[in-house]
Chain A
Amino acid sequence: MLTQAVIKDLTAIVGSKNIITNQAGLAAYGYDATLMSQRPVGIVFPRSTEDASALVKYANRAGLVMVPRGAGTNLSGGSLPVENSLVICVSRMTRILEIDPKNFTATVEVGLVNFDLQEELEKHGYYYPPDPASYKASTLGGNIAECSGGPRCFKYGVTRDYILGLEVVLPSGKVIEVGGKNFKSEFRYDLTRLLVGSEGTLGLVTKAILRILPKPFAKRTMLAIYNKVEDASLTVADIVAAGIIPTTLEMMDNLLINTADEHVKLGLPRDAGALLIIEVDGYEVDLDNQVRLIEELCNKADVRSFKVATSQAEADQLWLARRTVIGSVGRRRPSYSLQDVTIPRSTFPQMVDAILACSRRYDLPIGILAHAGDGNFHPLVLFDERDADEVVRVHKAEVDLIRDALALGGTMSGEHGIGVLKKEYLDLEFTDVAIEAFRKVKRSFDPTAMLNRGKIVDIAAEG
């Protein structure tokens, strides 16, 4: 609980409309898209960098641990408040400061929702490539904090590749700018890269300069349906070997085909083993050849049906199904645990086997969703959070999946981050030397762990 004096001081900084301390409000900021929750002691909404800096300075003086937050859609617990912390929510810093298409940059406040930016860029014929499935809700600040990916990474890369510069309130409250409007404005170290994906543990990002690109001249969206997951993974390998880098190679298994179709009603065959959404883009004159080649490769892999979307609306429907598929599993079981393991592409079939084995081992339904081109799997373990026994099994399954991915030479997180959810498994992936290097980084920015304490790594007081 915040004392009246602290509430008064915080109110003096942000104004009474930008602070929440009532029970319901605290509860509403106690969760994200994971199953965990905690109650913060208060929520404040900075409206400007000055607000943010003043808040951070004040929290330091008052000894309040701070948790930065955007829309709270993250999947690792990165924005979950720890006990007795103050949530600094950037959701009301939503201004677009500049869109400069000719110089390929957009400068924004980080509370801006990814989709809202895309809509503005669209008017100029531009776009910002990283668009995680949550892009309609998630803020760019959140995307930056987690280094979000999305379905287009295979060709276009992740958030990291599109952040040119940041304005950051350091854990001390001082404000710095890192990077700039181009690839060559970092001072000494590429701090921008360190901050991207740091899950709000190193600084509170307030503004970002993003790299934007003109929309591709043309694209083709294809839907390939298979009897077996193995056939789909063969296609993935073949496409890459043929020298084509599609923007997208998204895979769903039978379970997800069913739930997605219940939500979006595309009329997908409910008995299909897997489907791939394949998208290529580029110059119009090149695409027909690529589509032809891809079709051949799909046929070679015993595709059951292959279809090129004939209109934008048709392609949009496919994408809607893909983007909402995770939520749609709620139609099967109320809760899910979503993993984010990523493996070298060549071990795709082994990972599928591992997931199926895990499902049998713990007697839990697991849906397989994958950014197949990236080797990024999102196995969805379905259960009911009210069933204590199931919850225990789910946790076991989670660890197994991480171990399986690591054994295949992968990583436990391709795009969701460590947060608190995977923190306990960090030493499965990293040596002590690496974890100690993480601590060095954290200490350099935030020696007393005032910002997002307890995420990624813990640090002891220096000295």
Chain B
Amino acid sequence: MAKEGKKSSTLDEVIKELYLCNKCGFCQTACKVYKTDLNESFSARGRVQLIKGVAEGRLPVDEGFRDAVNSCLLCQECAVACPSGVKPHELVLAARRYMQQTEGLPLDKKIILGTLADPFRRKVAFSTARFLRNNVSNRIEGFNELKGIDVRGMPIDKVGFIDQVPELNKAQASKGRVGFFVGCFINHSLAKTGHAIVKVLNKNAIDVVVPKKQLCCGTPQNAYGDFELAKKNARKNIRLFKDLDAVVTGCGSCGAMLKKEYLHLFADEPEFLPEVEAFAQKIFDFSAYVMHEIKLDPEKFKVFNHKVTYHDGCHMARGLKITKEPREILKSIPRIEYVELREADRCCGAAGLFQSYFYEIAKDISRQKVQNIENTGADIIVTGCPACVHRIQGSLRLAGKEQKVVHLADLLAEAYQ
């Protein structure tokens, strides 16, 4: 696992990869941001070339450069398309780290990142958002949308999921035990999904442990180059789940971070690395766990008369490389009509902070997703990433559409009714 490649910590170290890019441009179609804005600096190739320019000292780190680097969704589509084996998203990460090291993050981003990393401040932030929604947006006529994000529709739970459940959630006649890495999104705004995950696992005779002290996985900090903060939390998380043999996640981004990115993050700490590897080994996305470890029994599902489609989150599809499991699970539910979504694995426009910094592009990207969903005729859209649930549900709502977006666990929990 660790052989996947050492994450370069500074620009100097990634120069080698920069020279692999032969500017063929094949990644342009893959890059949703480029396809939407049609500006070369917002394409994978453009980012790689600009980073190369900075690395070679030909270009200054100016606003244009920062925009190019910050407008990346980290969706990794470019890496799949690139025939030369360049991983533009990793170069972007390196560039972000470089910028962070040399000049620090811009203030507003720093606040958000710090907030997500710190459990106390995190609560405050999500409740501020709730306050904003309840007190401002509901009162001001027409304030439904903040930079393309559906503020009114966004659920923000008063008490986080972690505080709603006991540490140990016993199943009847239990046969096994897993840890549940909840993640910020499920914790603060999709507690329902958290409960669904517990329920489905319990139904299958698995006890679920929810360690109370778990922290943010580190995706946002990692994405914007604050590796030190990311590492600090990662270390705590790894220790916290030490005694569990399997850990389930309900979020593609958390999953990819825990399973793949932690290895990169600690590539420069060989003494700690074995522990990280052991941790990565036992991380399962919810869908993979129920399909391979539990083996669901479709007999137990109720008949489900819905037309359903599936959206792959970026980190789910290209980080964790999970695409088959959710589809097979869905198809196994009796009477469900499954339709494939065009461009199912393309980014929905959420991409963490992207949606608020490049909101016009994000809006356009989401519009395309909504259109593709419309074309399927499905009434339920299933995905494995809470961020996508929000983004897509919000975009549908803003477009005046009725379709429902749910997490795979939500749908399964309902099928067990």
Say whether, besides A28-B49, A111-B38, A327 and B62 are in contact (CB < 8 Å). Answer: no
Structural contact, B68 and A335, CB atoms closer than 8 A: no
Query: Which residues on A sit within 8 Å (CB–CB) of B356?
Result: none
Query: Which residues on A sit within 8 Å (CB–CB) of B26?
Result: 134, 136-137, 324, 327
Say whether, besides A334-B19, A386-B19, A24 and B82 are in contact (CB < 8 Å). Answer: no
Query: Which residues on B sit within 8 Å (CB–CB) of A15?
Result: none
Structural contact, B41 and A113, CB atoms closer than 8 A: no
Option from A24, A32, A330 in Cβ contact (under 8 Å) with B41? A24
Q: How far is the CA of A329 from the CA of B59 in the complex (A)?
A: 28
Structural contact, A23 and B85, CB atoms closer than 8 A: no
Cβ of B46 to closest chain A Cβ, rounded Å = 4
Query: Which residues on A sit within 8 Å (CB–CB) of B21?
Result: 330
Residue ID in chain A nearest B17 by CB atoms: A334
Structural contact, A134 and B24, CB atoms closer than 8 A: yes
Structural contact, A330 and B59, CB atoms closer than 8 A: no
Query: Which residues on A sit within 8 Å (CB–CB) of B22?
Result: 33, 327, 330, 334-336
Cβ of B99 to closest chain A Cβ, rounded Å = 13
Which B residues from 28 to 79 make CB contacts under 8 A with A?
A: 28-29, 38-41, 46, 49-50, 53, 58-60, 62-65, 67-68
Number of interface residues of A (CB under 8 A): 42
Structural contact, A23 and B25, CB atoms closer than 8 A: no
Query: Which residues on B sit within 8 Å (CB–CB) of A140?
Result: none
Cβ-based interface call for B83 (8 A): yes
Q: How far is the CA of A72 from the CA of B24 in the complex (A)?
A: 9
Contact with B along A323-348 (1 / 0, CB 8 A): 01111111100111000000000000
Cβ-based interface call for A444 (8 A): no
Residue ID in chain B nearest A264 by CB atoms: B83
Structural contact, B50 and A28, CB atoms closer than 8 A: yes
Option from B23, B64, B86 in Cβ contact (under 8 Å) with A24? B64
Structural contact, B83 and A327, CB atoms closer than 8 A: yes
Structural contact, B23 and A27, CB atoms closer than 8 A: no
Q: How far is the CA of A326 from the CA of B82 in the complex (A)?
A: 11
Structural contact, A326 and B62, CB atoms closer than 8 A: no
Q: How far is the CA of A22 from the CA of B59 in the complex (A)?
A: 11
Option from B20, B28, B58, B82 in Cβ contact (under 8 Å) with A334? B20
Query: Which residues on A sit within 8 Å (CB–CB) of B50?
Result: 24, 27-28
Structural contact, B20 and A330, CB atoms closer than 8 A: yes
Query: Which residues on B sit within 8 Å (CB–CB) of A138?
Result: 25
Cβ of B62 to closest chain A Cβ, rounded Å = 6
Structural contact, A24 and B62, CB atoms closer than 8 A: yes
Cβ-based interface call for A128 (8 A): no
Query: Which residues on A sit within 8 Å (CB–CB) of B83?
Result: 263, 324-328, 330
Residue ID in chain A nearest B31 by CB atoms: A137
Q: How far is the CA of A371 from the CA of B68 in the complex (A)?
A: 37
Cβ-based interface call for B84 (8 A): yes
Residue ID in chain A nearest B43 by CB atoms: A28
Residue of B20, B83, B86 with most chain A CB atoms under a 10 A cut-off: B83
Residue ID in chain B nearest A94 by CB atoms: B38
Query: Which residues on A sit within 8 Å (CB–CB) of B82?
Result: 327
Structural contact, B23 and A22, CB atoms closer than 8 A: no
Q: How far is the CA of A115 from the CA of B25 in the complex (A)?
A: 13
Cβ-based interface call for A385 (8 A): yes
Cβ of A257 to closest chain B Cβ, rounded Å = 14
Cβ of B38 to closest chain A Cβ, rounded Å = 4
Contact with A along B344-361 (1 / 0, CB 8 A): 000000000000000000
Option from B40, B65, B85 in Cβ contact (under 8 Å) with A72? B40
Q: Chain B interface residue count: which class?
A: 20 to 34
Query: Which residues on B sit within 8 Å (CB–CB) of A115?
Result: 29
Option from B19, B59, B86 in Cβ contact (under 8 Å) with A385? B19
Query: Which residues on B sit within 8 Å (CB–CB) of A136?
Result: 26, 28-29, 81
Q: How far is the CA of A108 from the CA of B210 in the complex (A)?
A: 56
Residue ID in chain A nearest B360 by CB atoms: A17
Q: How far is the CA of A399 from the CA of B24 in the complex (A)?
A: 22
Structural contact, A27 and B24, CB atoms closer than 8 A: no
Query: Which residues on B sit within 8 Å (CB–CB) of A329?
Result: 84
Structural contact, A113 and B29, CB atoms closer than 8 A: yes
Residue of A28, A92, A136, A336 with most chain B CB atoms under a 10 A cut-off: A28
Say whether, besides A23-B59, A23-B60, A136-B26, A28 and B84 are in contact (CB < 8 Å). Answer: no
Q: How far is the CA of A325 from the CA of B81 in the complex (A)?
A: 12
Structural contact, B24 and A92, CB atoms closer than 8 A: no
Say whether, besides A136-B29, A263-B85, A23 and B24 are in contact (CB < 8 Å). Answer: no
Structural contact, B62 and A23, CB atoms closer than 8 A: yes
Residue ID in chain B nearest A327 by CB atoms: B83
Residue of A92, A330, A384 with most chain B CB atoms under a 10 A cut-off: A330
Q: How far is the CA of A260 from the CA of B38 in the complex (A)?
A: 29
Structural contact, B62 and A33, CB atoms closer than 8 A: no
Cβ of B45 to closest chain A Cβ, rounded Å = 8
Structural contact, A72 and B64, CB atoms closer than 8 A: no
Option from B40, B62, B63, B86 in Cβ contact (under 8 Å) with A29? B40
Structural contact, B68 and A24, CB atoms closer than 8 A: yes
Option from A23, A33, A325 in Cβ contact (under 8 Å) with B23? A33
Cβ of B57 to closest chain A Cβ, rounded Å = 13
Option from B19, B28, B84 in Cβ contact (under 8 Å) with A137? B28
Cβ of A457 to closest chain B Cβ, rounded Å = 26
Q: How far is the CA of A86 from the CA of B166 in the complex (A)?
A: 65
Contact with A along B205-231 (1 / 0, CB 8 A): 000000000000000000000000000
Q: 22 A-B Cβ contacts within 8 A?
A: A20-B64, A22-B62, A22-B63, A22-B64, A23-B59, A23-B62, A24-B64, A25-B64, A28-B39, A28-B50, A33-B24, A45-B38, A113-B29, A327-B24, A327-B83, A328-B84, A329-B84, A330-B86, A331-B84, A335-B22, A384-B19, A385-B19
New A-B pairs, 19, CB < 8 Å, besides A24-B53, A73-B25, A330-B83 = A20-B39, A20-B41, A24-B50, A25-B64, A28-B41, A28-B50, A29-B40, A31-B49, A72-B25, A91-B38, A94-B38, A134-B24, A134-B25, A136-B81, A138-B25, A324-B83, A334-B20, A335-B22, A385-B19
The 9 A-B pairs of least Cβ separation, nearest first, read A330-B84, A327-B83, A24-B64, A22-B64, A324-B83, A73-B25, A28-B41, A334-B19, A28-B40
